[in-house]
Structure 1
Amino acid sequence: MMGIRAFLIAVLGALLLLHFLKQRWSRRHYPPGPLSLPLIGNIWRMGFRFTDDTLLKLAKQYGSIFTLWLGYQPLIVMSGYQAVKEALIDHSDEFADRPVTSYIKFIGKNKGIVLSNGHTWKQQRRFGLVTLRKLGLGKTGLEHRVEEEAQQLVETFARSKGQPLDPSFALNNAISNVICGLSFGHRFSLEDKEFQKLIEAIHDSLAVSTTSSYLLYEIFPSIMKHLPGPHQKAFSARDTVLSLAKKEIEEHKVQKSFHDPQDYIDFYLLKMEKHQRKNEPNSTYNDENLAQSIHDLFIAGTDTAATTMQWALLLLTNHPDVQDKAYKEIEDVLSSSSSICYQDKKKLPYVNAVIHEIQRSKYVLYFGLPRQPTKDVKINGLTIPKGVMIFPDLRSVLVDPEHWETPEKFNPNHFLDKDGNFMAREEFLAFGAGARVCLGELLAKVDLFIFLTCLLRNFKFQLPEGVKELNEESIIGVTRHPHPYKICAIPRCSPSQS
């Protein structure tokens, strides 16, 4: 009996070894990477958790292009400016697609802007770019809405009367209401139940992406779709955002406000009407794509901008010399102006450099959003197979020691020339690059400039009594959040000045 058992164990071991060797042989054409084990892939190599420098360490060991395995799913990581530039800029069209994984397919359904591909993506993205420009700067557009929310933010901070406050809640609300104004044409009060549900849903949608529940869904979708877990919470959150979007769409249809368009829904319904009148056979303009596009604006635009603002206040509190210099420039240049507009950034090179350095040094995404090549592509002598998932590590570009003087330090001089003028950097890829460059880049830039400039003009940010320094380590999620903190917003002058 013991002999039979030993024989069966030996046969099983031989089969596993044969399977392992066959797997290694079948993957010989992929870029190098850590040893991949059956079922779990490379998860063991990361110690089952990511840290700020996990991918940077792997790039040092395996090169600027390397392969990780999520079970049997390959992920090719591009690290450093040269590799990312060659993929996203030099081969922009070939890397224009999003991967179609089990989770992405369920969440995106090839609708909207962020997760769609092909004709749908091209048509929805083109509309999004044109419409955001139409809703853009000036006193009647996006800029006006941001100024309104900045004023609300100043009033919220003023109510703390210089006592320690956690700014995260107020910042999330302000950013979310900017997108509400852009999409729906109105803001919500903070007490509104639907608005509170929206904020919670955005958080739940993003939280699942770094859990084991997400990884297991990608590997075993047919099983996981029947099991409870954070992935089910994310699916429910998606439905919550879509439901609110569809409710707003119906209200716009009833009001027929789209004949004098003031917001994203208005412009979209007007486009739908024109395509229906012309009976366009290939039109993708419909309620489902509109609702998903609004969902994408909230999910992609809220957490990233709010988190960047959290890092901004943390860094400026930790670096009072930078804060004082930025405030002095604002006062010297804008002292006679009662309001701040986005065009003022041209007069404020140091403030502009500080904002760029905040985005560089504390880049909020752990990965850039994944891409998928539409055909086999050769980069640095390595073949990137058609259809494989690509992760462009944008953070590695922003801390690439070959291009930044002090990559690990907060240093606004990275964006200033010797005469103190603002200096644009081609290595600054905080918004991505190529065909999928961030649709909301202008929105994010307006948010950050007006919010931060208004807050600096009205408050001096200080550490609470007894606190020597705020923690600058990141909490790793789909976005890289700071640890919870409190600061004191000491009024400089009357909040009405902003």
Structure 2
Amino acid sequence: MIVEILLFVVGVILLRYWISRPRGMPPGPMVVPFLGSRPVLSVDQVQKMHKIYGDIFKSEIGPHKFIFLCSNKLIKEALSKTEFADRPQLEMLHFLTDGQEAGVIMSNGKRWQNARRFLLRNLRDLGMGKTYLEESILVEARALVKDFRSCAGTPAHIPESLNVAVLNVIWQLVASKRYEFHDKEVLEPIAILRSIDSSSLATLVEFFPGVKKLLPGFLKEKLFAGQMKRLKDSIVDLLKDSIDSHRATLDPANPRDVIDEYLIAMDEKSEIAEYFSELDLMRTIFDLFAAGFDTTANTLRWIILYMARYPEVQHRVQQQIDEVVPRDTLPSYQHKSRLPLLEATIQEVLRASSMIHNGVQRAAQTDTYLAGYFIPKGSWVFGCSGICHMDSRYWEEPQEFRPERFLDEGKVKTPKEGLIPFGSGRRSCLGEALSRMELYIFSAALLQNFTFSPPEGVEVDLEANSKQPSARLSKEQNIVISIRE
């Protein structure tokens, strides 16, 4: 009798589960009630599912639904709509503020609109994307060349100074400060950020809040909390010092940087500062910190690796630089129009590396439809630009590394479809102009002064680092830096 009652109860629960499920969603792997389907988190998994289900498909983890868009048309259509302008809500995404929504990258609604408007206005006023910011980048490029010279001749990992040089450019706009390349204060949080394994069991547990609550404290500490606390403490120490020193020396009549402008707006209670607070400021400058060292620096690492893997391309780029720029002068923006092969090579690396392969996650604000499919409110939406970057609908022989595909009669051409390296729509990268300027100047400076190659008998590995499966970060490997005479 008890068995029959249990079977009846289970049957009722399952029936209710299936009846309450939304109908008309995109195709995807089989769903197990309350657990979800086969997880699709990594680049490899997305690529496999795309081959099976096509340009739009879903997966599920617990109550969370993930929608993957794998065509240029779908990505641009979806990400330009207000219905897909939100970010998903998950406690781990707000680790720095103890689960409270803050900052600019992962916030929503008016809070996000105010933060983005404030940052765009002030970063532009301070020089982002303008040619007079070029000198700041050239200062870092000169220092980077000097540091790379000290590493030349011996096989070694690409120097950490690359990350700090890139960070310094935006950090001077944000906090009027630059770090020395080997400063432990900034290298420690970078190392912790890199060490987080987004494919771990701990990450999956975050999608099951009920399960997480049941876990004993020591297990939560071991799985995830300990690592995140180390990261939080390291970041808070770094950022709080900057905020406190700015507060102590603030002159409202003469703002120096983004932190000053933020504190002034907060103190004056201006309209745009409705959601401003020191906690929000900490998250906002962390967002800029992470964006400053992460995306651009990792793309530069890919550029170095592709040059080492394709020495004939590297040689032709260097030859063009030598023809245009005197060897005692670093390449600058005034040379850009005469260095089309360098620009085309950067474009091809952005395409081939597809670093933010699955895009930065969005969330559906409301129940809506896309491509004839029902997308429930709260669904996570991924614009998988990496699929587009390797799609033969847009590219001839996409697996080949060919910078020439971006050249037309010796001039750089921008394709209308298939290349989405900085996102799309309402939440595309707000630092794209700055990032492009940095990629050009740093790449030109390094290739003018150095040749990159693998150690003898070794081939450069262009496969992605499996510890960060949702992005395509390069593997740590030895590279030989040779000084060009």
Aligned 1:218-229 pairs, distance under 5 A: 218-220=207-209, 221-223=212-214, 226=217, 227-228=220-221, 229=223
Aligned position for 1:294: 285
2:299 maps to a residue whose letter is T
> Bigger CA drift: 389-398 or 233-242?
233-242
Aligned position for 2:262: 268
> Against the structure 1 CA distance between its residues 450 and 262, is the aligned structure 2 distance closer, same or farther, given a 3 Å change threshold?
farther
The question of whether the paired residues in 1 share the 8 Å contact of 2:186 and 2:238 is answered with no
Aligned position for 1:482: 474
* Deviation readout 1:71-99 (Å, 9 max, x if unpaired): 2211111112121121013x2x2211111
Where do 5+ consecutive residues of structure 2 fail to align? Answer: none
Where do 5+ consecutive residues of structure 1 fail to align? Answer: 494-498
The question of whether the paired residues in 1 share the 8 Å contact of 2:352 and 2:390 is answered with yes
The question of whether the paired residues in 2 share the 8 Å contact of 1:259 and 1:270 is answered with no
Question: What is the CA-CA distance between 1:69 and the residue it aligns to?
Answer: 0.4
Question: What is the CA-CA distance between 1:22 and the residue it aligns to?
Answer: 4.7
Identity over aligned pairs, percent: 32
Aligned position for 1:28: 23
Question: What is the CA-CA distance between 1:458 and the residue it aligns to?
Answer: 0.3
- 1:410 partnered with 2:401: yes
Using the alignment, how far apart are the partners of 2:22 and 2:369 within structure 1?
Answer: 16
- 1:369 partnered with 2:360: yes
The question of whether the paired residues in 1 share the 8 Å contact of 2:305 and 2:460 is answered with yes
Aligned position for 2:445: 454
Q: Out of 32, 37, 40, which is 1:37 matched to?
A: 32
> Bigger CA drift: 216-225 or 180-189?
216-225
The question of whether the paired residues in 2 share the 8 Å contact of 1:246 and 1:287 is answered with no
Question: What is the CA-CA distance between 1:122 and the residue it aligns to?
Answer: 0.6
Using the alignment, how far apart are the partners of 1:442 and 1:484 within structure 2?
Answer: 28
Q: Out of 215, 227, 232, which is 1:233 matched to?
A: 227
- 1:420 partnered with 2:420: no
> Bigger CA drift: 208-217 or 109-118?
208-217
Q: Out of 102, 119, 122, which is 2:91 matched to?
A: 102
Aligned position for 2:165: 174
> Against the structure 1 CA distance between its residues 13 and 340, is the aligned structure 2 distance closer, same or farther, given a 3 Å change threshold?
farther
Q: Out of 176, 183, 197, which is 2:188 matched to?
A: 197
Using the alignment, how far apart are the partners of 1:415 and 1:230 within structure 2?
Answer: 43
Using the alignment, how far apart are the partners of 2:347 and 2:325 within structure 1?
Answer: 20
Question: What is the CA-CA distance between 1:360 and the residue it aligns to?
Answer: 0.9
What TM-score comes out, normalization by structure 1 length? 0.87
Q: Out of 157, 165, 169, which is 2:156 matched to?
A: 165
Aligned position for 1:496: none
> Against the structure 1 CA distance between its residues 190 and 336, is the aligned structure 2 distance closer, same or farther, given a 3 Å change threshold?
closer
Using the alignment, how far apart are the partners of 1:83 and 1:225 within structure 2?
Answer: 43
The question of whether the paired residues in 2 share the 8 Å contact of 1:201 and 1:238 is answered with no
Instruction: Report SS of the residue matched to 2:207.
Output: helix
Instruction: Report SS of the residue matched to 1:482.
Output: coil
Q: Out of 381, 384, 390, which is 2:375 matched to?
A: 384
The question of whether the paired residues in 2 share the 8 Å contact of 1:183 and 1:263 is answered with yes
Q: Which structure has more RCO (C-alpha within 8 Å, separation ≥ 6)? A: 2
Aligned 1:54-453 pairs, distance under 5 A: 54-89=45-80, 91=81, 93-107=82-96, 109-136=100-127, 142-204=133-195, 207-220=196-209, 221-223=212-214, 226=217, 227-228=220-221, 229-256=223-250, 259-273=253-267, 275-276=268-269, 280=271, 283-335=274-326, 338-417=329-408, 419-426=409-416, 427-453=418-444
> Against the structure 1 CA distance between its residues 232 and 224, is the aligned structure 2 distance closer, same or farther, given a 3 Å change threshold?
farther
> Bigger CA drift: 354-363 or 226-235?
226-235
1:272 maps to a residue whose letter is M
* Deviation readout 1:330-378 (Å, 9 max, x if unpaired): 1222238723334533332111110011111101124211111222332
The question of whether the paired residues in 1 share the 8 Å contact of 2:129 and 2:437 is answered with no
Using the alignment, how far apart are the partners of 1:312 and 1:258 within structure 2?
Answer: 42
> Against the structure 1 CA distance between its residues 189 and 335, is the aligned structure 2 distance closer, same or farther, given a 3 Å change threshold?
closer
2:463 maps to a residue whose letter is E
- 1:492 partnered with 2:484: yes
1:425 maps to a residue whose letter is P
Using the alignment, how far apart are the partners of 2:129 and 2:404 within structure 1?
Answer: 30
Question: What is the CA-CA distance between 1:421 and the residue it aligns to?
Answer: 1.2
The question of whether the paired residues in 2 share the 8 Å contact of 1:153 and 1:174 is answered with yes
Alignment length (residue pairs): 474
> Against the structure 1 CA distance between its residues 365 and 463, is the aligned structure 2 distance closer, same or farther, given a 3 Å change threshold?
same
The question of whether the paired residues in 1 share the 8 Å contact of 2:128 and 2:433 is answered with no
Tell me the C-alpha RMSD between the 2 structures: 2.7
Instruction: Report SS of the residue matched to 2:358.
Output: coil
1:32 maps to a residue whose letter is P
> Against the structure 1 CA distance between its residues 239 and 367, is the aligned structure 2 distance closer, same or farther, given a 3 Å change threshold?
farther
> Against the structure 1 CA distance between its residues 16 and 422, is the aligned structure 2 distance closer, same or farther, given a 3 Å change threshold?
farther
